[in-house]
Amino acid sequence: MTESQYEEIIRNSLQRFRDLYQQREEIDIELVKLRQFMYATVHMVPDKERVKWETEIGNAVQKMVSSSASLADSVRRVFDDHPNYGFTAGTIRGMLLEAGFDFSAYTSNPLSSISTTLRRMVEMGELKTMDDEEGVTVYIRADRPRRKIKKTEIMR
């Protein structure tokens, strides 16, 4: 391939990325509008049916709210609370479980969900990875200077 072909691939990939991001934002807006509509409309239902629908709507909304956004937010909170430390995926899992994070809505195991979230945060530039002395991947904040991590700076 020529340089111009690679540039064309990058240009197309970048446009696809932007398009998908825009679609995600549009979907998020539509979800908020739909949620508001459902909560407003449920009051039109007869009282004896309303409780059932309020429960179903509440469960659907709770599942949406407790999905990846709150997992990512919870992971961010770990790094915000301990900005000078690096973490393994297993350590983050332990900290989230200790904090009472509810993984019951996830179909995969917690460590897999956390690993996926961490990889996405690396891809988005929020985090960086380094390997510790034993070759274990350690995640650190992207705004932290890259240098060798001391054992005392890794929470396990």
- CA 80, CA 92: separation in Å to the nearest integer? 13
pLDDT tens profile 82-105:
888 899 999 999 999 888 787 877
With a cut of 50, say whether residue 22 has pLDDT above it: yes
pTM, two decimal places: 0.52
Residue 76, burial from CB neighbour count under 10 angstroms (0-12, 13-18, 19+): middle
- In the three-class reduction of DSSP (H, G, I as helix; E, B as strand; rest coil), residue 43 is classed as helix
- CA 118, CA 112: separation in Å to the nearest integer? 10
Residue 43 structure tokens: 């009051």
Q: What value does the mean pLDDT of the chain take?
A: 84
Class of domain 68-155: mainly alpha
Residue with the larger pLDDT of the pair 28 and 51? 51
pLDDT on residue 118: 95
Could you state, in order of their start, the residue ranges of all structural domains in the chain? Answer: 3-65, 68-155
pLDDT on residue 155: 54
